[in-house]
Structure 1
Amino acid sequence: KCHRVLTERMFKHLRKWFGAHFSRHSRQRARLVSKDGRCNIEFGNVDARSRFIFFVDIWTTVLDLKWRYKMTVFISAFLGSWFLFGLLWYVVAYTHKDLPEFHPPDNHTPCVENINGMTSAFLFSLETQVTIGYGFRCVTEQCATAIFLLIVQSILGVIINSFMCGAILAKISRPKKRAKTITFSKNAVISKRGGKLCLLIRVANLRKSLLIGGHIYGKLLKTTVTPEGETIILDQTNLNFVVDAGNENLFFISPLTILPLLFFHMAAETLSQQDFELVVFLDGTVESTSATCQVRTSYVPEEVLWGYRFVPIVSKTKEGKYRVDFHNFSKTVQVETPHCAMCLYNEKDARASIKLGYDNPNFDMSEVNETDDTEM
């Protein structure tokens, strides 16, 4: 009987856990910007003329390709050019009757020495374009067509090398990788700071190299309905952020806490029922490469904790150095916080009233003459 009770409790606990787990995933909202900064958007019904523009701007298209596609283009470009010019060298040798199948006389001077077929023509094309030059196969001065083809392949080979190697180098050095070392807190918190109800977000730089000219700003995305009845999806509202060190030219050597300048028209009980997305941007120039980078993240109502504040993570060691403990970077502690912005203002007004006092016009003060009615 005891074993059956334990089994029933275990299954009840598992059903509760799975129910909460799946309900949390079912309530997960669609977001425009993911936590790592990627934009969750797709374009549909793009006409063929607009798609052709991507090939016009081939440099940006190649840079935006994923590594597997980029390496495929890289290998295909070189192999394709080697094979194409190898075929042209074979045509030159065939036209000039340099191949052994034509049985050239002993005093015959070929356009290219030692080309005996398609394989040797491909090898000569490879040696020419990558400037290996083994010396076994070479162009002679007897054929103007071969000299012209050598010049064309040399020029196109330099262009292909410059483009593909430059694309690989630009892909490696893109500032997007630097943005990976800028991290935001997993959650945003709402608590009192400086006598005001504020939404707080923590951001940190994981490298010792600074971001020059850092600037923080944000967008509040939500669905709004205009007075004319038009529904605007992803309506954007600009948000200015305040940091202790200012929102521009940040000295971003230690984690900073940022807060947007916005008025909360919501309460703790209705926060989860709201439909909004707070997108935070951090722009700056990488100190080592002078390239501009942008870091993005977003917060939905489920990721905003009402009545919490961040745990301090900066301390001073015995050696006199400042230590940042990233283990507590996203940790929060619960603090006493009003349930809404109006509650905070009413609380402040009540305290001011108690301190200053109010005059009651209905209160009249009258003097009373004291008489001694006690008889001795």
Structure 2
Amino acid sequence: MTRTLPQLLREYLDKRKIHKNRLVTKDGHCNIAYGGVKQSQTFIYFLDFWTTLMEMRWRFVIFLFGASFVFGWFIFGLLWYWAAFANGDLTWQNPPAGHKPCVENLFDMKGAFLQSIETQMSIGYGYRLITPFCPSALTIFTVQCVFGTVIICFWCGVIMTKVARGKKRARTIRFSKMAVISSKKGSLCLQIRVANMRKSLMVGSQIYGKLLKTTVTPEGETIIMDQIKIDFIVDAGKDNLFFVCPLTLYHIIDESSPFFQMTVDTLHQQEFELVVFLDGTDESTSSSCQVRTSYLPKEIMWGYEFLPMISRSKEGKYVIDFSNFTRVLPVDTAPCASQMAKSPDDFPHYDTPTDGDRFQDKEVKGQSSATYL
């Protein structure tokens, strides 16, 4: 059915409200505003100028790159003009016959600017040529050569560091937009799917989560952003994941879990934000990175499970079908965790069915009740 304009506008405003109210966006950015800072915000940025450059957008970096060179050429152009003026080389000074200039054929500010560019960029002298008769010109020449080398090295470091940042690698790690809750091996589990979109592995990967909510202590103190630790596991544990294929992460909802008192009817009435972190090191560049995402109560589906993604071809190759990455299937699930509470020690971690255990000789077909998230 075609949606009307008011419905589309209402959906857009709801998405904007959800985006503004969450601490961590789906792509990992933090919505935080700093107030009451004693020092000027601009002054703080200049105190850590290197980090400021790393966080700048490319268009501003390129602008500063070009502006630093033009500004440097202009300042040293003024110095070359001053040296020519002090030696009486300029046209309006009417130098006498046989006059020995500091720079041959430097008669005005335009020539001084071109002399500055030729010196700093080492493109070779042609029409203008420095002479050994002015100590001031030799000093300017030496200082500008050193300055040019330093500024070129600096900007090379900035550009190489920005290109090789782990933040770019983090964009190739993808989390499922929705989380699901279903039963696994006699326990109720919150499940999230994560995939590495590149063939290069993330070495030493670790997954963990934080549940952010407002709580009131027995003493009456209100904690706006109380952080509760959330542990995730796969079949091989929670540390040093073998991140060669998409993984389904499990959080066991037991008595120690903050989700234990929630039910299928009260889940979406809660006010919390589940932030999930993945830390790892890219084996190609050895750069460490952190990937973040978050889930609100509306983004957790009770009574669903993810479809398997891995199959085997006739040639025996393992094939990952990313079309099933966001597909879920409704399953019979208890309405609350208290009906199937179980000790964490009784949970068979090594038998937890993850995507790695669901290798099949044929792709999953006929899932008419599967849903795209």
Please tell me the TM-score bracket, short chain as reference: 0.7 to 0.9
Structure-1 separation of matches of 2:146 and 2:17: 59
1:25-71 deviation line (CA, Å, top 9, x unaligned): 48737111000111111212323356423212211111111112111
Q: What does residue 183 of structure 2 align with?
A: 192
Structure-1 separation of matches of 2:184 and 2:336: 14
Question: What amino acid is the match of 1:72?
Answer: F
**Residues 272 and 297 of structure 2 are in contact (CA less than 8 Å); yes or no, is this contact kept in structure 1?**
yes
TM-score by length of structure 1 reads 0.84
1:224 aligns with 2:215: yes
Q: Helix, strand or coil: the match of 1:28?
A: helix
**1:296 maps to which of 286, 292, 297:** 292
Q: What does residue 28 of structure 2 align with?
A: 37
Structure-1 separation of matches of 2:115 and 2:63: 24
Structure-2 separation of matches of 1:16 and 1:41: 31
Structure-2 separation of matches of 1:141 and 1:15: 78
1:288-320 deviation line (CA, Å, top 9, x unaligned): 111101111010000000000001110000111
1:255 aligns with 2:246: yes
1:332 aligns with 2:328: yes
Q: What does residue 102 of structure 2 align with?
A: 111
Q: Helix, strand or coil: the match of 1:48?
A: coil
> How far apart are 1:75 and its partner, in Å?
1.2
**Residues 185 and 329 of structure 1 are in contact (CA less than 8 Å); yes or no, is this contact kept in structure 2?**
yes
1:62 aligns with 2:53: yes
Structure-2 separation of matches of 1:95 and 1:254: 72
Q: What does residue 350 of structure 1 align with?
A: none
1:213 aligns with 2:209: no
Question: What amino acid is the match of 1:332?
Answer: V
1:77 aligns with 2:73: no
Q: Helix, strand or coil: the match of 1:36?
A: coil
1:234-273 deviation line (CA, Å, top 9, x unaligned): 1111222111122222111100011234522200000000
> How far apart are 1:19 and its partner, in Å?
8.8
**Residues 239 and 261 of structure 1 are in contact (CA less than 8 Å); yes or no, is this contact kept in structure 2?**
no
Structure-2 separation of matches of 1:339 and 1:303: 17
Q: Helix, strand or coil: the match of 1:257?
A: strand
Q: What does residue 360 of structure 2 align with?
A: none
> How far apart are 1:126 and its partner, in Å?
0.6
Q: What does residue 18 of structure 2 align with?
A: 28
Q: What does residue 340 of structure 2 align with?
A: 344
Distance 1:339 1:73, change over 3 A: same
- Between 314-323 and 19-28, report the one with greater CA deviation: 19-28
Structure-2 separation of matches of 1:143 and 1:37: 59
Structure-1 separation of matches of 2:286 and 2:278: 16
Q: What does residue 128 of structure 1 align with?
A: 119
Gap runs ≥5 in structure 2: 343-373
Q: Helix, strand or coil: the match of 2:289?
A: strand
Question: What amino acid is the match of 1:178?
Answer: R
Distance 1:91 1:191, change over 3 A: same
**1:316 maps to which of 294, 312, 317:** 312
Question: What amino acid is the match of 1:205?
Answer: N
Give me the CA root mean square deviation.
2.1
Structure-1 separation of matches of 2:306 and 2:5: 33
Structure-2 separation of matches of 1:85 and 1:14: 64
Equivalent residue runs for 1:261-276 within 5 Å: 261-262=252-253, 263=257, 264-276=260-272
Distance 1:19 1:127, change over 3 A: closer
Distance 1:265 1:23, change over 3 A: farther
Structure-1 separation of matches of 2:18 and 2:11: 11
Structure-2 separation of matches of 1:227 and 1:104: 90
Distance 1:168 1:27, change over 3 A: closer
1:332-369 deviation line (CA, Å, top 9, x unaligned): 010000000112249xxxxxxxxxxxxxxxxxxxxxxx
Gap runs ≥5 in structure 1: 1-9, 347-376
**Residues 128 and 154 of structure 1 are in contact (CA less than 8 Å); yes or no, is this contact kept in structure 2?**
yes
Question: What amino acid is the match of 1:306?
Answer: W
1:164 aligns with 2:155: yes
Structure-1 separation of matches of 2:34 and 2:314: 56
1:115-147 deviation line (CA, Å, top 9, x unaligned): 111111101101111111133322211111111
Structure-2 separation of matches of 1:226 and 1:273: 21
Distance 1:83 1:22, change over 3 A: closer
Question: What amino acid is the match of 2:285?
Answer: T
**Residues 179 and 190 of structure 2 are in contact (CA less than 8 Å); yes or no, is this contact kept in structure 1?**
yes
Q: Helix, strand or coil: the match of 1:242?
A: coil
Question: What amino acid is the match of 2:44?
Answer: I
Structure-2 separation of matches of 1:19 and 1:153: 59
Aligned length: 336
Question: What amino acid is the match of 1:241?
Answer: F
**Residues 219 and 280 of structure 1 are in contact (CA less than 8 Å); yes or no, is this contact kept in structure 2?**
yes
Structure exhibiting the larger radius of gyration computed from Cα positions: 1
Structure-2 separation of matches of 1:345 and 1:159: 65
Q: Helix, strand or coil: the match of 1:244?
A: coil
- Between 221-230 and 266-275, report the one with greater CA deviation: 221-230
